[in-house]
Amino acid sequence: MGGGWLKNAYGDKGVAEHRKKLYGRPGDVNVNTKGGYKQEVLIGQDSRAIIERHHSDHDSPKKHTAIHDHKITWDENGDPQYSKPINYNTGNAPKLKEEK
């Protein structure tokens, strides 16, 4: 478990820390800071993350707005799969909540 990209991005210890934020009580939003910017993770009905919001353009404004989301699905191995960024114009990011 952990996925190759996670290990490359975070190292062995970092994978475990990264994955902690991906689990919680349904409807909760886990908030943390990574790389100097705020992240929010919305937890779905199965206690796993469904959306991760980044409060950074990652110094790449052509690809990311200052606030953007990544939808998260889970593969058959239990590893998170992140969507391409969902970008928002400044101030137009919707409240983080599960779509019904």
> Mean pLDDT, 10 residues at a time, over the chain (100 residues)?
46 62 94 88 96 93 93 94 92 80
* CA 57 to chain CA centroid, nearest Å: 14
Q: Give the pLDDT of residue 12.
A: 54
The predicted model scores a pTM of 0.80
Q: Are 65 and 58 in contact (CB under 8 A)?
A: no
Helix count and strand count (H, E) for the chain:
1, 6
